[in-house]
Homo-oligomer: A and B are copies of this chain.
């Protein structure tokens, strides 16, 4: 069925993947490293999340990939499609909205 919106809970992996791959072409291993680095270790996608997520996003037309041989090793480079970018905008807006909501609740003292 047609993929309902990520509701409350995050879909953070989808979000950050699209964000990275909207910026530039990257391959799996690369993404994992970048994610740890950029988020100061706060985020880390294990391979059991990463690869299935990449495949799913590609199948949905949000990413496209090309394989390249680099120094004997095979790499699959992904980047966001236009559709993926549009999706990213939606997800990012959503995420900010909900994260601000959480922040308000964490911050307030509700007497």
Contacts and interface: CB of A to CB of B under 8 A. Distances in A.
Interface of A: 8-13, 15-16, 19-20, 23-24, 34-35, 38-40, 42-45, 49, 92, 95, 97-102, 104-106, 108-111
Interface of A is mostly: helix
Contact of A98 (B43, B106, B110): B43
Nearest to A99: B99
A109 to B, nearest CB: 7
Nearest to A11: B9
Contacts of A10: 8-10, 12
A20 B97 CA distance: 19
B104 A39 contact: yes
